[in-house]
């Protein structure tokens, strides 16, 4: 650290040793951040570079288990990590690819900043972590994401250079996490830095292949060593003359010029809130031709002669308007949701799951897609009748459009505890599928009958009383 920062190293080490309060990023998809902040039950202060960010006076455990967390009102995230999507500045209608996305901090931030109107391919190599990513996407009510599990090479094979915006928040030696994580401290070694730098060079060279002419790439890590940061980006820039570093101007961050890459940014734990981060923004020459995609992925090249943009616009595959599953869905939508939901353009059945695909989603050959768009519910056969059973994700995404029975549990602390544990709350005369909320924010569905609303929360999301 002394080699890196000289006299400043002591302040950095002191900052790392000190416990710090957690932070949340308020979810644009639940409302305006300033209005949502009024609901926080703890004193809070702003994060300089992220209007939706708040540092809160609470324990991380309190933040993680509060009803507002389960209602997707916020995402607990280190303040430094909030700089990444701010720098990317994703726009409505863009194709955004988050290469190493789990557990979903940057993906859900990008979805919020675009009002859920980009197409976000959120990938992670680790299947268990990709499942957490999917859980967070659903909790925050994101409908525009395609969650995938696999290597970046497979994404390149399926998408080519079609992304308007790419995030590579790379696996790293995690020096910025030393304060919070004994595991990160134990795993660190000089060899680990070199191994991560090798992996990061491989990942960034692939991530850069995804970028369309005129598109942008944000590379970030939560570690301090220049070998995993400035050196990785400089290595790429030396090989890709069609990419240029775009200077980052974000309040509260420092320029990385002293480590050889002016224009890249550092967030330091001793100078600002958070654990520390490195960020670089690269922009691809709008006049650039196709990038060299190196080795191809078996079965992943898509249809020759048809651009990825065309494929993204392609309509849904064959389905019959009279399908029994569509009828079952439409009946449910007619009874419970605003009229527009009845005629969603791209409702598709995959096994028993019924999904509302993002508008411009096209198949990703060779890529393991865990979920595309919104899981509306499941189609089940009940004694020869096709029945639609709504999914938890629908409760989390369709709150504003819900016209069926609802039950708010803010004033019923016991009922709230029972519902969250998978039990029943008092439901008055509500009947059938009922949207359960806390202060108007969605917690999930219940089935109401005989004065009781029995929780339909998936087992993995229940909180024992």
Beta pairing class for 452-455 and 441-449: antiparallel
At which residue do the structure tokens 């569905």 appear? 445
> Which range, of 98-106, 344-352, 376-384, 403-411, touches ligand SAM by CB under 6 A?
98-106
Q: For residue 340, what is the DSSP state?
A: G
Q: Are 3 and 39 in contact (CB under 8 A)?
A: no
SS3 222: coil
> Which range, of 93-101, 158-166, 224-232, 388-396, touches ligand SAM by CB under 6 A?
93-101
* CB of 450 vs ligand SAM, minimal distance in Å: 43
Q: Which is nearer to ligand SAM, 218 or 443 (CB)?
A: 218
**One of 58, 73, 102, 193 touching ligand SAM (CB under 6 A):** 102
**One of 124, 138, 164, 175 touching ligand SAM (CB under 6 A):** 124
Return all residues near 390 (Cβ < 8 A) that are at least 6 apart.
Answer: 332, 336, 376, 377, 433, 445
- What whole-number distance in Å separates Cα of residue 445 and Cα of residue 392? 7
> Which range, of 39-47, 96-104, 324-332, 402-410, touches ligand SAM by CB under 6 A?
96-104
Residue 104 makes contact with ligand SAM by CB under 6 A: yes
Examine the residue annotation and report whether 172 is marked as an active-site residue of this protein. Answer: no
Neighbours of 72 (CB within 10 A): 24
* CB of 411 vs ligand SAM, minimal distance in Å: 34
Residue 139 makes contact with ligand SAM by CB under 6 A: no
Written as six digits, the tokens of 33 are: 């951040």
SS3 265: strand
Q: Which is nearer to ligand SAM, 25 or 240 (CB)?
A: 25
Written as six digits, the tokens of 255 are: 């320029």
Residue 152 makes contact with ligand SAM by CB under 6 A: yes
Residue 103 makes contact with ligand SAM by CB under 6 A: yes
Distances, alpha carbon 103 to alpha carbons 132, 135, 253, 282, 357, in Å: 5, 9, 24, 24, 22
**One of 29, 50, 100, 233 touching ligand SAM (CB under 6 A):** 100
* CB of 124 vs ligand SAM, minimal distance in Å: 5
Q: Which is nearer to ligand SAM, 166 or 326 (CB)?
A: 166
Q: For residue 102, what is the DSSP state?
A: T
Residue 171 makes contact with ligand SAM by CB under 6 A: yes
* CB of 128 vs ligand SAM, minimal distance in Å: 9
* CB of 107 vs ligand SAM, minimal distance in Å: 7
Q: Which is nearer to ligand SAM, 76 or 254 (CB)?
A: 76
- What whole-number distance in Å separates Cα of residue 382 and Cα of residue 379? 10
Judge if the upstream peptide bond of residue 103 is cis by omega within 30 degrees of 0: yes
Residue closest to 439 by CA, chosen among 463, 461, 407, 414? 407
The alpha carbons of the chain give a radius of gyration, in whole angstroms, of 23
Residue 169 makes contact with ligand SAM by CB under 6 A: yes
Binding mask 408-447 for ligand SAM (x = CB under 6 A): ----------------------------------------
**One of 28, 106, 179, 201 touching ligand SAM (CB under 6 A):** 106
Residue 101 makes contact with ligand SAM by CB under 6 A: yes
Determine which one of 50, 172, 222, 434 is catalytic. Answer: 222
User: Interface residues for ligand SAM in 390-409 (CB under 6 A)?
Assistant: none
> Which range, of 4-12, 20-28, 100-108, 350-358, touches ligand SAM by CB under 6 A?
100-108
Evaluated on CA atoms 313, 318, 322, 323, the torsion sign reads: negative
User: Interface residues for ligand SAM in 58-87 (CB under 6 A)?
Assistant: 81
- What whole-number distance in Å separates Cα of residue 302 and Cα of residue 365? 6
> Which range, of 119-127, 249-257, 357-365, 399-407, touches ligand SAM by CB under 6 A?
119-127
Number of H helices, E strands in the chain: 16, 23
Q: Kindly report the three-state secondary structure assignment for every residue of 346-402.
A: CEEEECCEEEECCCCCCCCCCCCEEEECEEEEEEEEECCEEEEEECHHHHHHCHHHE
Q: Are 354 and 371 in contact (CB under 8 A)?
A: no
> Which range, of 102-110, 301-309, 310-318, 326-334, touches ligand SAM by CB under 6 A?
102-110
**One of 125, 250, 283, 369 touching ligand SAM (CB under 6 A):** 125
Residue 126 makes contact with ligand SAM by CB under 6 A: yes
> Which range, of 125-133, 188-196, 296-304, 396-404, touches ligand SAM by CB under 6 A?
125-133
State the number of binding residues for ligand SAM (CB under 6 A).
18
> Quick one: 128 exposed, middle or buried, by C-beta within 10 A (0-12, 13-18, 19+)?
exposed
Q: Which is nearer to ligand SAM, 226 or 444 (CB)?
A: 226
Residue 198 makes contact with ligand SAM by CB under 6 A: no
Written as six digits, the tokens of 422 are: 């998978």
Written as six digits, the tokens of 112 are: 């919020």
- What whole-number distance in Å separates Cα of residue 208 and Cα of residue 284? 9
Where do contacts with ligand SAM occur on this chain (CB under 6 A)?
A: 81, 99-106, 124-126, 129, 151-152, 169, 171, 203
Active site residues: 222
């Amino acid at each position: 650290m002394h080699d890196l920062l000289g006299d400043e190293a002591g302040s950095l080490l002191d900052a790392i040793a000190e416990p710090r309060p957690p932070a949340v990023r308020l979810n644009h998809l639940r409302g305006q951040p300033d209005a949502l902040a009024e609901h926080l039950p703890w004193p809070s202060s702003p994060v300089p570079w992220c209007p939706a960010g708040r540092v809160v006076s609470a324990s991380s455990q309190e933040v993680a288990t509060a009803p507002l967390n389960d209602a997707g009102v916020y995402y607990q995230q280190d303040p430094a990590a909030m700089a990444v999507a701010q720098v990317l500045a994703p726009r409505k209608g863009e194709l955004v690819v988050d290469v190493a996305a789990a557990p979903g901090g940057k993906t859900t931030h990008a979805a919020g900043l675009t009002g859920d109107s980009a197409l976000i391919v959120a990938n992670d190599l680790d299947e268990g972590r990709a499942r957490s990513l999917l859980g967070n996407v659903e909790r925050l009510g994101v409908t525009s994401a395609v969650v995938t599990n696999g290597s970046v090479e497979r994404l390149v094979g399926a998408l080519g250079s079609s992304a308007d915006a790419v995030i590579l928040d790379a696996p790293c030696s995690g020096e910025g996490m030393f304060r919070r994580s004994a595991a990160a401290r134990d795993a660190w070694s000089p060899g680990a830095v070199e191994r991560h730098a090798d992996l990061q060079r491989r990942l960034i060279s692939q991530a850069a292949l995804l970028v369309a002419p005129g598109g942008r790439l944000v590379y970030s890590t939560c570690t301090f060593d220049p070998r995993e940061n400035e050196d990785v980006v400089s290595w790429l820039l030396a090989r890709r003359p069609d990419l240029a570093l775009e200077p980052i101007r974000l309040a509260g961050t420092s320029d990385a010029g002293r480590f050889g890459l002016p224009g890249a940014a550092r967030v330091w734990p001793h100078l600002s809130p958070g654990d520390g981060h490195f960020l670089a923004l690269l922009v691809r020459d709008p006049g650039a031709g196709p990038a060299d995609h190196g080795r191809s992925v078996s079965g992943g090249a898509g249809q020759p002669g048809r651009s990825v943009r065309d494929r993204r616009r392609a309509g849904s595959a064959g389905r019959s308007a009279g399908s029994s599953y569509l009828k079952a869905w439409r009946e449910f939508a007619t009874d419970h949701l605003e009229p527009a939901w009845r005629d969603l353009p791209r409702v598709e059945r995959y096994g028993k799951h019924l999904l509302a695909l993002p508008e411009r989603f096209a198949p990703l050959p060779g890529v393991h897609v865990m979920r595309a768009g919104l899981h509306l519910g499941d189609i089940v056969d009940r004694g020869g009748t096709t029945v639609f059973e709504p999914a938890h994700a629908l409760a989390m995404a369709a709150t504003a459009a819900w016209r069926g029975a609802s039950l708010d549990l803010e004033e019923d602390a016991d009922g709230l505890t029972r519902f969250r544990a998978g039990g029943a709350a008092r439901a008055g005369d509500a009947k059938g599928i009922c949207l359960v909320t806390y202060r108007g924010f969605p917690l999930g569905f219940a089935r109401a009958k005989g004065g009781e609303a029995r929780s339909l929360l998936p087992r993995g999301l229940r909180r024992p009383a």
